[in-house]
Structures are given as C-alpha cells and as structure tokens.
Structure 1
Amino acid sequence: MYLSRLQLDPRHKQARTDLANPYELHATLCHAFAEANQTPPRFLWRAEEGKIPTVLVQSVEMPNWEKLTQRFPGYFAQRPESKPIPLEHLQPGQVLRFRLRANPTVTRKDPHNPEKRKRHGLKDVEAQLEWLSRQGRKGGFAVLGAMVAQSERVRMFKHTGGSPIVLQSVLYEGHLRITDLEAFKNTLTGGLGHAKALGFGLLSVARG
C-alpha cells in the first residue's frame, strides 16, 4: 500500500477546478493510475486544509504522478511524495492516533414509498460518534476517544447545470485500539463509509 502527498498550486486553473469539485478532483487523480480507456483501481483520498492545498492519496498500486505533470504542467506546487505504508508493524491491542473524514449515514424507509430506503446524513454529534463506534466494531478497532473536529453539509455537482448532491462531511480525530488485525488491515485499505470516490473514508493512523 502507498501513501502520496500532493500539494496543488491554487494559481493553476485545473487545480482550482479540482479543489472546488470532488468529482473533478477524483477524475484528475485517476490519470495517475490508468489510461483514459482503462478503469482505474480503487483508491482513497482526502483534501487537507492549509496554506498550500494538500491532497493525501492512499492506494494499493503505486501511482504515476508524472502523468499529471505532463497532462497539467504547473498543477503541483511541489513534486509529489509517495511512500510505501508497511502494515506488518501493526499488532492486536496496539493503540494509534487516527484522523478520518467520513460521510456518516443511516438508512431509513422512504415515508413516500415504504418499499424504498433512503440514506440520510447524520447531523447530531452524538449520532456521528455512535456511527464511528459501529464502524469500528465491524472494522477491527475500538474507539478509545474521539472528537468531531469539523461537521458540515457540502454541496457538489457531478455535472455542470445538474442538481446538487448534498453530503454530511465529518472530520474525526482521536485514538483507537486494534481489536482484529486482519479486519483492521481491510479497513485501512478499503476505507470507511460511503462516498469514498469523493474524498471520504481514508483512515489515517499513526503511533502516539
């Protein structure tokens, strides 16, 4: 598994377009994994706020960021950094710091059509934290302590002029303990929750 750190130049037209629309950013990132006529492998990513716009990309395959440099000269503010993520150091019972931007949801029956079920974003902080705990029980970890560092509803457009898609975006930070090593490794590689292609679900962990 590989982790890439990308710093985008906000003066670049394509970079500004991508930073304003997760659909566009995902499409741009795909160029580093596959040709235009190929289906790219799944990968996780998260945009980080800061003085220089930064995007973290986690993938099973090694990306080729030179393709983006050739396609969009000047897109990156600095040369992309990619490094392997060793998973063999992980152990059951290990305590790790984590950071996660997720789209916590619950599925309920549609009141207008009981045969259908609709996904709803969770707005209440307590419900958001309960969602994270449930994900942990399925994903091989126990949440020891967590806080919601940011919670907001974000609007995005898949197509120009189309109807907006509204998602609940929640940034979690805290500590976890690994309870099931194999399940936890699957969580790291596969991500948590829905809307992964739109920048959600990447669980970043570190010692401490």
Structure 2
Amino acid sequence: MYLSRVILDLSNRASLAVAADAYEAHRFVFAAYVDAKAARPLYRVEAGLGGIAVIAQGLVEPDWERALRLSGARATVESKQIMKPRFDNGTRYRFKLVANAVKTIADAHGKTDGQGKPKSVRVPLIRDDQLRAWLDGQGKKAGFIVERATVEKREPIVARNGRAGNDIRLAATGFNGTIFVSDGDALWDAIGRGFGHGKGFGLGLLSVAPAVEGTV
C-alpha cells in the first residue's frame, strides 16, 4: 500500500480548484492512478498547519507527476510505501475518518426496480447517537472497538455529474478519536477497502496512528 500527502500550492489556480471543488479533486487523484480498479484509491482533502493537502492511499504506486501535469496544479508531494502493521489485538490507535454515514430504507413512494422489487434509498444519519452507532457497527465488521470518538457534521460533498446533468450530493461526517484493535487482519483489509459510500469523492479513508500512552 502507498500513502501520499500532496500539499497544494494555493497560489496556483488549478490547485485552488482541487482544494475547493470535489469533482476537480476526484479528477486530480484518479489521474495519479491509471488503473484505478487495481489501485482502489481512497483520499480526502484536509486543511492543516502546512496548508490544504490531499491525503491519498492506493494499492499501487501513484503517478503524481502525471496528475500535476494533466491538471496544471502545483504541489509538494510526499509519498511512501507502507507494509501491513502488526495490529496486535488490544493495541490502541488514534484514528480519523470522514465518511458518508447513511441508512437504507424502502422508497417512501413505493417505487420498484426493473424486476419489480421495492427500491431502496439512502438516508443520511443526523443525530450524534445514530452516527456513533454507525461507527460502532463499522468497527464490529472491521476489527476495531471504538474507545472514544468525536462526531463533526460537515458540509456535504457536492460534485457535478456531467453525464446525468445532476449534481452528486453526499452527506459527510468527520470522526476522530481512539480505537482498540480486535482483529488485525480485518482492520487492515477494511483500511484498504474504505468505509461507507462516496469513496470516489473524498470519503471513506480511515487513517490510524499509534496512540501515545497517557493521551486521550
């Protein structure tokens, strides 16, 4: 797996577009992964002390020179290959995740699909207790137990959809806190897959780092 931090030069117009426009960020990241199916890229755009950066992960080595050339953006790139951590059971990690936390319900108008089956729709979760329950449920499937988590409701991700003529709109929630590993193999697999919907538009990337003893 490869992890990258691409710090955008905001004096450049194309870099500003990547920072501000979900569709341009999508195009920029996927230009670095020629075979996106094999790479299974995940990313998010975040602001930090060093400026606005694209944090990206993929199963194959990205070509950021290609992405910069095609987009016209300018950036400082840090990229490295990482091996699977030990992830011993009970180990405590800090985590960060921005995800599309939703539930699936039957269509309120009784619409059906081409096979006559009831259609389902995704409804964003709103209440903090619902969002925390969603995160706990993800952990059960992904080999971790949430020790502590803060929930931050964010502005939705909106990206234009040229083919359909409609914008793509995805609810986004930020989660930060600490987890305990319960199944290291499952956690590593889940990090590679990502969490929730909207992975192509900057959602679903779980970042973890060892928690320092004595911190919360």
For normalisation by structure 1, the TM-score amounts to 0.89
Contact 1:150/1:171 (8 A) holds in 2: yes
Q: Which runs of 5+ in 2 are unaligned?
A: 112-117, 212-216
* SS state at 1:17 partner: helix
1:66-99 Cα deviation digits (max 9, x unpaired): 21233345x2332x00012232332122110000
Q: Does 1:93 align with 2:79?
A: no
Compared with structure 1, are the counterparts of its residues 162 and 16 closer, same or farther at alpha carbon in structure 2 (3 Å cutoff)?
farther
Compared with structure 1, are the counterparts of its residues 127 and 168 closer, same or farther at alpha carbon in structure 2 (3 Å cutoff)?
same
After TM superposition, list the pairs within 5 Å mapping 1:13-28 onto structure 2.
Answer: 13-28=13-28
**Residue in 2 aligned with 1:112?**
109
**Residue in 2 aligned with 1:134?**
137
CA distance in 2, matches of 1:161, 1:21: 18
Q: Does 1:81 align with 2:78?
A: yes
* SS state at 2:121 partner: strand
Shift of 1:113: 1.4
CA distance in 2, matches of 1:204, 1:59: 13
Contact 1:34/1:40 (8 A) holds in 2: no
CA distance in 2, matches of 1:155, 1:27: 14
Shift of 1:122: 0.9
Paired letter, 1:157: R
* SS state at 2:119 partner: strand
* SS state at 1:53 partner: strand
**Residue in 2 aligned with 1:53?**
52
Paired letter, 1:32: A
**Residue in 2 aligned with 1:193?**
196
For normalisation by structure 2, the TM-score amounts to 0.86
Contact 2:90/2:182 (8 A) holds in 1: yes
Contact 1:30/1:40 (8 A) holds in 2: no
**Residue in 2 aligned with 1:41?**
39
Q: Does 1:205 align with 2:175?
A: no
CA distance in 1, matches of 2:136, 2:89: 17
Contact 1:32/1:68 (8 A) holds in 2: yes
Q: Does 1:67 align with 2:66?
A: yes
Shift of 1:155: 3.0
Aligned residues: 204
Q: Does 1:4 align with 2:4?
A: yes
Q: CA RMSD in A?
A: 2.1
Shift of 1:19: 2.4
**Residue in 1 aligned with 2:99?**
102
Q: Report sequence identity in percent.
A: 33
Shift of 1:161: 9.5
Shift of 1:40: 6.4
Contact 2:28/2:71 (8 A) holds in 1: no
**Residue in 2 aligned with 1:31?**
31
Compared with structure 1, are the counterparts of its residues 42 and 96 closer, same or farther at alpha carbon in structure 2 (3 Å cutoff)?
same
* SS state at 1:194 partner: coil
CA distance in 2, matches of 1:53, 1:119: 30
